[in-house]
Amino acid sequence: MAAQEEGQANGQRLLFSAIAEKVAELGTEITAAYPDGDLLVLGLLKGSFIFLGDLVRKIERPLQVDFLVASSYGAGTTSSGNVRLLYDPETQLEGKHIVLVEDIVDTGNTLRKLLAVLQERAPASLAICALLDKVEMHQPMPEVRFVGFQAPTAFLVG
């Protein structure tokens, strides 16, 4: 039994190490993509908050952080297709480079709705960063510029 537990612990360390390395790579990519101008990292709560916290520590330039909350799931495990904006960022978006941070891109419905809302506020640029991207699920696909890992189409938690 001890060997099995040790194997699981080693597997978890490898997984966490791979995630930490990928977050550092994403931070480097974002730093390089936005050498100047105002950068706003906008987290989609609640799922993105830990990923966003780790990510902003790896972005080596001044930035601002804010959040928004949207819902499309209701009580189920599949998207209802009805996206509701529950909390709108108070930060001025006009003229800023915005990186919208999401934990998992699933169908893309929520992101398409949010991109339309955010684009109306005249940012200098708008990009998506996701830790996990279920690229096979989006129709039509929103462009996810900064991707940690491609994920299977299964329901994911955690």
Domain positions in the chain are 2-150
Separation CA 117–CA 71 (nearest Å): 14
Q: Indicate the range of 3-7, 50-54, 78-82, 121-125 predicted with least confidence.
A: 3-7
Query: What is the torsional sign of CA 102, 104, 110, 111?
Result: positive
pLDDT at residue 135 in the model: 77
- At residue 41, does pLDDT exceed 70? yes
Enclosing H/E stretch for 72: none
Please give the structure tokens belonging to residue 123: 């940012």
Q: What is the pLDDT of residue 109?
A: 82
Question: Which region among 26-30, 98-102, 117-121 has the lowest average model confidence (pLDDT)?
Answer: 117-121
DSSP summary character for residue 70: E
Position 138 scores a pLDDT of 63
Asked if pLDDT for residue 3 goes beyond 70, the answer is no
Average pLDDT for 21-37: 97
pTM confidence score = 0.82
Task: For residue range 126-150, list pLDDT tens digits in order.
Answer: 999 999 988 776 667 678 899 999 8
Query: Hey, which residues are catalytic here?
Result: 106
Range 76-86 average pLDDT = 61
The answer to whether the CB of 45 falls within 8 A of the CB of 103 is no
Q: Which fold has domain 2-150?
A: Rossmann fold (3.40.50)
